[in-house]
Chains A and B, each alone.
Chain A
Amino acid sequence: MKGDHQTLALLLFSAFIAVTLFITTWVGRNRQGSAEEFYAGGRLFSPMENGFAIAGDYMSAASFLGISGLIALFGYDGMLYSVGFLVAWLVVLLLVAELVRNCGRFTLADVVAARMAERPVRTAVGTSSVTVSVLYLVAQMVGAGSLVALLLGGTSDAARSWTVVGVGALMVIYVSFGGMRATTWIQIVKAVLLMAGAVALTVLVLVHFHGNVNNLLNAAAERSGHGKDFLAPGLRYGGDWTSRFDFISLGVALVLGTAGLPHILSRFYTVPTARAARRSVVWSIGLIGSFYLMTIVLGFGAAALVGSAEVRASNAAGNTAIPLLALDLGGGEGSTGGTILFAVVAAIAFATILAVVAGITLASSASVAHDLYASLRRPGRKKRSEVAVARTAAAGIGAVAIGLGLLAQDLNVAFLVGLAFAVAASANLPALLYSLFWRNFTTRGAVWAVYGGLIPAVVLVLVSPVVSGSPTSLFPGVDFQLFPLENPGLVSIPLGFLAGWIGTVISPEPPDEARHAEAEVRALTGAGAA
C-alpha cells in the first residue's frame, strides 16, 4: 500500500516538474534578455493573472500544511495565523501596492532610493532584502526536505538532503532561464492547483458533515481530547506571559511583514499600471482569503476525522494533517480513492514549494544585481550586463540556500518564516513607509531605518531562547539567552521606525523638497512610471 501512493506521488511530481520545465523553455524562446523582461516579465500581465501569481507566491507549504496542522493540533490558536496572514494584505493594498508600482522599476530599493542618495540607500535596502529572502528561502527548503521525505516514507537523511539539492537546482533553472515570465506562469499553475485541491478537500469535508459546520466543530472538539477548549484561544499561547507576548509579537510581525517582502513587492512591476496593481491585489485578497477560510475547515476537519492524537503521532508539528485527512476522505488506508487523494495532495504541496522558492530566488537575484552590484561595483571596472549578473546571482543564491538548507534541517520551519516576516517588518517597512509618506525623510534616516531594524532583529534572535538556553534551542548546551521572546518583532519593529525618525531629525542635510515633490507626484499619479 505504502508503495502505491509513493509511486503515484512520484509520477505526479515528475509531471509537475516536466510542465514547469516546458513553461521555462517555451516562455524563454525568442526573448532577448533585457532587464525589463528578466525582472518584470515585460510588465504586461493582466490583473487576474498577477493576482493568481501573487497568491501563488504567498501561499507557501507552510500555510497549506502548517496552518491546518496547527489547527488540527491546537484548534483555535492555529486560526490566529490565518487571520494575520490575510489582514496583512490590507497594508499592502492601502499603503503600498499602487505607490510602489508608480515609483519603482524592479525592486524595493528603487522606491526608497528615488529621492535619496542612491549608493548608501541601495546598499542598505539591498542587504536587508537579500537577508529576508534568504531566511524565507531556507525555511522553504527545509520544509521541502522534511515534507518530501515524510510523504514518500523515506525519512532517511540522504532522501532529505537530495530533495533540498534537487529543489535548489530546479529553482535556479527556472529563474536563470525563464526570468520573471516563467516564474509568473509557474506561480499561476501552482495557485490554480492549490486552490483546486483545497476546494475539493473542503467540499469533501463539508459533505461528510452534511454541510453542518456546527457538527464539524463539535466533532473536532470531541476528537481533540480538549473538549470545548479546542474551539477557544489559549491551548498553545495561553501559558505564561512570555508566550502570550511572544504571540502578540508574531501577530504584529505577520501583519506588518508582508508589505516588506521583496518577492511580493516585485510582483507589482509585472503589470502595466498602478490601477492594474491594485486590481491584482484585490484578486489575490479574494484568493488568499478564501484559501485561509478553507484551511480552517480542513484543520478542524482533520481534528474531527483523523483525530489530533493520530496527527501528532505522524508528525509532532502537525505537518501531515492534510495528507492524512485526504487519505481518510478518499476511503482510508489501502483504498484506491485514499491513495489517489493522498498522492495528489503530496504533489500539490511539492508544487507549492517549487513555485514559492522560484519567486523568492528571482527577487533576491534582482536585489543582488540591481541594488548591490550596481551600487558597490567599483567605478571604472568593465560594466557587465545586469541581467547576466542577475542570472549568476540566482545560481549563487541557490548554492547558499542549498548549503544553509542542509545545515538547518532540524530548525523549525514556522520559526524561520516568522523571523523572515519580523526582519521584513523591522528593516524594509519603516524605510518604505517613511519614504512614501514623510516629506522630511532624508538619506541618513533611510539608512538608519534599515540598519536600525535589521540589526536589532537579528541580534535579538541570536540572544533569544531559539538559539540557546532552552532544551529545544539550536545550541541546547550553552546559555547566552538575554531576550525572552522567540519572535523579535514587538521590539525590533518600533526600533526600526524610531531609528529612521532619529536619523532624519539629526541629518545634516535638509530634506530635498524638489525630489520629494517629484516622488509624491509620481507615486500618486503615475507620471513617468516605468
Chain B
Amino acid sequence: MEKEAGPETAGVRLDDPWDDVPAPGRYDQDGTGGAATHDASGAAAPDPAPSAADIYLEVHRSAAFREVRRRYRRFVAPAALAFLLWYLAYVVAATTAPELMARPVAGAVNVAMVAGLGQFLTTFLLTWAYARHARLRRDRAALDLRWDTQEMTRGLGR
C-alpha cells in the first residue's frame, strides 16, 4: 500500500484553467522553468491560485482518496448492518420468544444467557477487528492525504 501512495497522491492534480499557476511549493518535481515566471505574474492576477474549494474537490476526486473511502466503507457498512441486525434479533427474541430463550444449555446456563454473553463477545471482537483494520489498512494512507491536502491549501485563507 505504501508503495502506491506516492504516485496516487501525485495524481491529485488540478486540471482546471488555473492549473498552469501551481500552488506554491507543490509541483516542484515538474521542474518546468515556466513555473517560476508564472508564479511571479500570478501574484498580480486577480484570482490566480486555485481556491481551497477547488483543492478539496480535486482531492475528493483523486484515486488515493477514493481508495481510503472505499476501504472505510467496505468494512463499516457490512459490519454495522451485521451488528445492528444481531442486536435487534436478540432484543426481539428476548421479548417475543421467551420459551426459546429459556431452553437450558448447560447447568443453569440457558440460551438467553449464551445469547447475552454472545453480544458482549461480538462487541469486543468487532471492536478489535475494526481497530486493527483501521490501523493497518487506512491510517497511513489517510495521513499522507492529510499532509498533501494541508500542503496544498496552506496560505489559502478561505
Contact = CB atoms under 8 A, between A and B. Distances in A.
A528 B92 CA distance: 44
B112 A76 contact: yes
Contacts of B76: 94-95
B45 interface: no
Interface stretch (A143-151, A185-193, A229-237, A309-317): A229-237
B149 A528 contact: yes
Contacts, number: 162
A255 B90 CA distance: 13
Interface in A66-81: 76-77, 79-80
Contacts of B139: 275
A218 interface: yes
B95 interface: yes
Contact of A214 (B96, B109, B126, B127): B109
Interface stretch (A15-23, A353-361, A511-519): A511-519
Interface in B63-117: 65, 68-69, 72, 76, 79-80, 83-84, 87-88, 90-92, 94-96, 98, 101-102, 107-110, 112-113, 116
A278 B131 contact: yes
Contacts of A521: 56, 59-60, 65, 145, 149
B131 A517 contact: no
A520 interface: yes
Contacts of A93: 127, 130
Contacts of B10: none
B134 A87 contact: no
Interface string A259-296: 00000000000000001001101100110010011000
A517 B91 contact: no
Contacts of A238: 95, 98
Interface stretch (A170-178, A244-252, A451-459): A244-252
B83 A90 contact: yes
Contacts of B52: 518
B80 A528 contact: no
B95 A524 contact: no
Interface string A192-233: 000000000000000000000010011001000000110111
Contacts of A275: 134, 139
Contacts of A79: 116
Interface string A499-530: 00000000000000111011011101111100
Nearest to B104: A228
B136 interface: no
A389 interface: no
Interface in A132-191: none
A95 B72 CA distance: 10
A292 B123 CA distance: 13
Contacts of B108: 214, 217-218, 221, 231
Contacts of B96: 244
Contact of B95 (A83, A233, A281): A233
Contacts of A86: 119-120, 123
Query: Which one of A84, A93, A228, A238 has the highest number of Cβ atoms from chain B below 10 Å of its Cβ?
Result: A93
A427 B110 CA distance: 38
B91 A251 contact: yes
A89 interface: yes
Contacts of A231: 102, 108, 110, 112-113
Contacts of B134: 98, 275, 278
A218 B107 CA distance: 9
A91 interface: yes
B123 A90 contact: yes
B12 to A, nearest CB: 10
A84 B127 CA distance: 16
A236 to B, nearest CB: 10
Given A87-B83, A94-B76, A517-B57, A528 B150 contact: yes
A229 B99 CA distance: 10
Given A80-B91, A83-B90, A247-B95, A289 B120 contact: yes
Contacts of A281: 127
A76 B91 CA distance: 12
A218 B109 CA distance: 9
Contacts of A278: 131, 134
B65 A525 contact: yes
Contacts of A229: 102
B77 to A, nearest CB: 9
Contact of A279 (B80, B92, B131): B131
A218 B59 CA distance: 61
Nearest to B98: A234
Contacts of B146: 525-527
B53 A518 contact: yes
Contacts of A286: 124, 127
B142 interface: yes
14 contacts: A83-B87, A84-B87, A87-B119, A91-B80, A93-B130, A94-B80, A233-B95, A233-B102, A234-B98, A247-B94, A248-B91, A248-B92, A518-B56, A521-B56
Interface of B: 52-54, 56-57, 59-61, 65, 68-69, 72, 76, 79-80, 83-84, 87-88, 90-92, 94-96, 98, 101-102, 107-110, 112-113, 116, 119-120, 123-124, 126-127, 130-131, 134, 139, 142-143, 145-146, 149-150, 153
